[in-house]
Chain A
Amino acid sequence: MRLIQTALAGTLESSDAQVMVENAGTGIELSIESDVINQYGRQIRETVLETLARLGVENARVRVIDKGALDCTLRARVECAVFRACRIEKDFPWGGVIR
């Protein structure tokens, strides 16, 4: 998927994560801030990168501000931000790349 605009999903509430994606350069440039980075930072990174790969996003700058979100929440926020950045607002591929 090719990102067209900068987009945001999620909140800064406890147990949520805010994900910002923008079209940039080549490859994935990922920054993570998290309340639980020491114990779960590695898993947050893996989850975000896996989700981006599944969506076919190859070039993006991604910023995650995590407030202790579970993996399912992180995946949903990344998916939402990417679709917003691609200006896709309907006919989501439920059961396809969105799991």
Chain B
Amino acid sequence: MKNAVNREIPDELLQNGRKPFMGSGYYEGTEYRKDAPSVRVREKSFETKLLPSIREAVQKCGVKDGMTVSFHHHFREGDYIINMVMKEIVALGIRDITIAASSVGAAHDPVAEYIEQGIVTGLQTSGIRGRIGEAVSHGKLKTPAVLRSHGGRVRAVERGEVHIDVAFIGAPTSDCYGNARGVGGKSDCGVLSYAMVDAKYADKVVVITDTLVDFPNFPPSIQAVDVDWVVVVDAIGDPKKIATKAARMSQDPRDLMMAEYCARVMAATPYFRDGFSFQTGVGGASLAANRFLESMLVEKNYKIKWIIGGITKPAVDLLNKGLVEMIVDAQDFDVDSVQSIRDNPRHYEISVSQYASPGNKGAFVNKLDFVILAALDVDPDFNVHGITGSDGVLRGAPGGHPDASAGAKCTIIVTPLVRGRMATICEHVVTVTTPGECVDVVVTDYGIAVNPKRQDLLASLREAGLPLKTIEELKDEAYHIAGVPDDLEFHERVVAIMEARDGTILDVVRQIKPMKL
């Protein structure tokens, strides 16, 4: 049947209580009892939870066929943990494993091999890139991968839709009892926000670190009371790829023009006032918006109350200049943000449940005023896509996009109208990752479109003299420049399910057909 964003969801997926996307806020006010982990009690006095190797930890945790193991992606493309753990699981002859990660990427290419060999048979993630994405897109994974937003992943764990048997949590520092932190080690990632739900809900929890510190490692991101075992390895990841050098502020005139439009859109809305809240993605134009925002804040003598999200240098700069009161942080992208969370008392670590889960009693995103995010394509209903490449292969991440978009009072999507011949405003997006009802404004280099359901914003932006177009006009302009694209061809078989943040099915990804000219 067709769901609320007009996508055809196969009936065979709509079983065991699974619903098609019904529109945002469908579960508002409903109640449920949270899932809970089993606990192996340590009542007596003992010295240490240290084990000599990952293999021993895998064995002690009783990993066996059919189990679900989980990982976080704070080490991004520098992560060694997933490969180290999976190598041992495979070496022990364990099969039918589901990986429940907060994201996977090119750092995990060896896992594609395990998928092809039928050892890894399930994948649940909020991002998918590299060879794993290709393997899944070509139908190599036995069961459809499940793709969720960051908040949606936490919700699924809290509700028990995913029950994690063993969580393997890489940590820059840990003590011998498993109090773990994102700072103080050789490969700091700043925060361990994604792993917090895993620590609270997995039956067994293993902390893997390369920097063992004295007990107690305080204040901890992951608490020893939730940790079964600790393993020390030579390296948890490549520090250069974990916290990268800050991205240079874009000098691309197109990015700068769009960034300025974004700042002007913000300034034109009633939410632009002293003490607003703000999030940006990490795309060139989104980041550059910070620069234009700064002068507008100074001019009006406004301060931002809080900045949230994945944190980068521009947010840290605003904090250091006293233009933002606090940063609430669920992921760090560069050395500047890692240093800031370590040293600045107004920079706080939060869990991803606090950040974005739609399954708790109210997350931070619900109180966001503005979010500026990128998109691969946008359709005339403002549905946003951000997970597959132009060839239909999985190569992206919904990440926190659907969560922040659903929560913010003003969601701004910024994208060039044409990107390497791809018309970004188009008739059909490949996969809906954020429903259009959560998107308010689309900023392009050829004009700005406002979602017709936001007549209030339309009036504000018109009054401010911004270059407004309808979304259809933008689409026609894009097709005029790039030509009307042919549709991608897919097989019937569903290779991935894109869940809405509330767990209903927003869209499906099908197996790609190889292109023949």
Contacts and interface: CB of A to CB of B under 8 A. Distances in A.
Given A67-B420, A68-B421, A69-B421, A39 B488 contact: yes
B486 to A, nearest CB: 5
B517 A41 contact: yes
B420 A37 contact: no
A45 B481 CA distance: 17
A35 B420 contact: yes
A53 interface: no
A40 B517 contact: no
Interface string B468-505: 00000000000001110111110000000000000000
B249 to A, nearest CB: 20
Interface string B379-392: 00000000000111
A1 to B, nearest CB: 25
A38 B515 contact: yes
Contacts of A67: 420
Candidate in A36, A37, A43, A67 with the most chain B CB atoms within 10 angstroms: A36
Contacts of A45: 517
A14 interface: yes
Interface string A16-37: 0000000000000000100111
Given A15-B421, A32-B517, A68-B420, A42 B481 contact: no
B119 interface: no
22 contacts: A14-B420, A35-B421, A36-B422, A36-B485, A37-B391, A37-B515, A37-B517, A38-B392, A38-B486, A38-B489, A39-B390, A39-B485, A40-B421, A40-B482, A40-B483, A40-B485, A68-B419, A68-B422, A69-B421, A70-B421, A70-B481, A70-B483
A13 to B, nearest CB: 10
Contacts of B488: 38-39
A32 B420 CA distance: 16
B486 A39 contact: yes
A79 B517 CA distance: 23
Nearest to B512: A38
Contacts of A15: 420-421
Contacts of A68: 419-422
Nearest to A73: B421
Nearest to B426: A39
A39 B422 CA distance: 8
B517 A36 contact: no
A50 interface: no
Contact of A36 (B421, B481, B487, B489): B421
Contacts of B392: 38
B239 to A, nearest CB: 30
Interface string B412-431: 00000001111000000000
Nearest to B487: A39
Interface in B205-230: none
A38 B391 contact: yes
Contacts of B482: 40, 70
Contacts of B483: 40, 43, 70-71
B311 to A, nearest CB: 29
B390 A35 contact: yes
Contact of B486 (A32, A42, A70): A42
Contacts of A42: 486, 517
A38 to B, nearest CB: 5
Interface in A55-82: 67-71
A43 B482 CA distance: 10
Interface in B160-197: none
Nearest to B420: A68
A40 B484 CA distance: 8
Given A32-B517, A37-B517, A67-B420, 8 more contacts: A36-B390, A36-B420, A38-B391, A39-B422, A39-B488, A40-B482, A40-B483, A69-B421
Most buried by B among A32, A43, A45: A43
A32 B481 CA distance: 21
Nearest to A47: B483
Contacts of A69: 421
A40 to B, nearest CB: 6
Contacts of A41: 486, 515, 517
A2 to B, nearest CB: 27
Contacts of B481: 70
A20 to B, nearest CB: 17
A83 B486 CA distance: 31
Contacts of B487: 39
B414 to A, nearest CB: 19
Contacts of A70: 421, 481-483
Contacts of A36: 390, 420-422, 485
A19 B295 CA distance: 46
A69 B515 CA distance: 19
Top 9 nearest A-B pairs (CB, nearest first) are: A68-B420, A39-B485, A68-B421, A41-B517, A38-B391, A36-B421, A38-B515, A38-B488, A43-B483
Most chain B beta-carbon neighbours within 10 Å: one of A37, A40, A41: A40
A42 B489 CA distance: 13
A42 to B, nearest CB: 6
Interface string B102-137: 000000000000000000000000000000000000
Contact of B390 (A14, A32, A38, A43): A38
Contacts of A38: 390-392, 486, 488-489, 515
A34 to B, nearest CB: 9
